[in-house]
Amino acid sequence: MREKLSVIVLTHNEEENIEDCLKSVAWADELIVLDSFSEDRTVEVAQECGARVVQHPFENWAVQRDFGLTLPANRWVFYVDADERGTPELAQEVQQVIQRDSPVGWWVPRRNYIWGKWIRHAGWHPDYQLRLLRRDKARYDPSREVHEIVILDGEEGFLENTLTHYNYDTVSEFLSKQDFYSDYEAGILLKQGVRPRLRTFVSQPVREFWRRYVSLKGYRDGGHGLALSLLMGYYALVTYVRLWRLGRGADRAGAS
């Protein structure tokens, strides 16, 4: 009996993206939009595209994706973000691999476009994401609230064909997202018991820049690679400054 596929898209105010996203994965047997109470036309547009819309309060990405695994009618789930697009080649490969008994989870490479350019280095390519899952064999690590981690009960594999990811259109969008992520990362580090030392405020941003620009060859992406590597180094600093502040607050609360 042929295995069927459910695509799930998490949304919040994705009116501009959701139609193109859903059309690019219309080959799936079921389309589900898991919406965290959008205030624009996301829900209406998704329904017009034939998707089933479920609204659920957003706590964090791990909790939301874990809830999403309870929704489909089919065993196989493919998570796609609203700013991502499937391709016919990816569709064919996905339909082939889900007919197998194993692996139970597949990493999907992404082609990231940042500020209008395909970024091929600095850690943004091939940018594998574990998105194609046997939902009875997968769950999300609750301790990873951002950049979530899937825990699989079985083997994993790697697809060859890519998702196209229109990651950041503008510098301001990039800064806003990284600022948001830094808060989450600082909170995760705090829960893990990490406390920065004085040298951390220099070593971590320098290490991140070097990793992106030199080790991961960001220099091959020209000005985009340099700017992205510098900004990622800067946000490593921001994360540890926020961690330091959170640690001070926690210490004071514990002493009172």
Are 247 and 216 contained in the same domain? Answer: yes
Are 124 and 55 contained in the same domain? Answer: yes
What DSSP designation does 76 have?
E
Are 142 and 237 contained in the same domain? Answer: no
Whether 256 shows a pLDDT value over 70: the answer reads no
Question: Tell me, what's the pLDDT at 184?
Answer: 86
Are 135 and 206 contained in the same domain? Answer: no
What's the domain range around 250? 170-255
List the helix and strand counts (H, then E) for the chain: 7, 13
Q: E strand or H helix at 209, and its extent?
A: helix 200-210
Cis ω for the linkage preceding 126 (within 30 of 0): yes
Q: Give me the number of domains the chain comprises.
A: 2
Domain boundary among 167, 200, 234: 167
Question: Tell me, what's the pLDDT at 53?
Answer: 98
Are 86 and 180 contained in the same domain? Answer: no
User: CB of 79 within 8 A of CB of 133?
Assistant: yes
- What is the rounded (10 degree) CA torsion for 94, 166, 128, 228? 170
Question: Tell me, what's the pLDDT at 199?
Answer: 94
Whether 72 shows a pLDDT value over 80: the answer reads yes
Among 100, 78, 70, 68, CA closest to 26: 78
> Which amino acid does the sequence have at 196?
P
Whether 93 shows a pLDDT value over 80: the answer reads yes
Are 132 and 186 contained in the same domain? Answer: no
Question: Tell me, what's the pLDDT at 44?
Answer: 98
**Torsions phi, psi of 164, nearest 5?**
-90, 125
Name beta bridge partners: 133: 77, 105
Are 163 and 175 contained in the same domain? Answer: no
Question: Tell me, what's the pLDDT at 248?
Answer: 87
Q: How confident is the model over 96-124, as a mean pLDDT? A: 96
**Per-residue pLDDT tens digits for 4-62:** 999 999 999 999 999 999 999 999 999 999 999 999 999 999 999 999 999 999 998 99
pTM value? 0.89
Are 70 and 141 contained in the same domain? Answer: yes
CATH assignment at residue 81: 3.90.550.10
Are 85 and 147 contained in the same domain? Answer: yes
Whether 255 shows a pLDDT value over 80: the answer reads no
Are 118 and 176 contained in the same domain? Answer: no
Domain boundary among 167, 189, 208: 167
Among 146, 124, 148, CA closest to 228: 124
Question: Tell me, what's the pLDDT at 94?
Answer: 98
Domain boundary among 110, 140, 167: 167
Are 46 and 137 contained in the same domain? Answer: yes
**Per-residue pLDDT tens digits for 46-61:** 999 999 999 999 998 9
Are 124 and 183 contained in the same domain? Answer: no
The helix/strand/coil state of 245 is helix
Alpha-carbon distance of 157 to 86, in angstroms, equals: 18
**Per-residue pLDDT tens digits for 192-232:** 899 999 999 999 999 999 999 999 999 999 999 999 999 99
**Per-residue pLDDT tens digits for 124-172:** 999 999 999 999 999 999 887 777 899 999 999 999 999 999 999 999 9
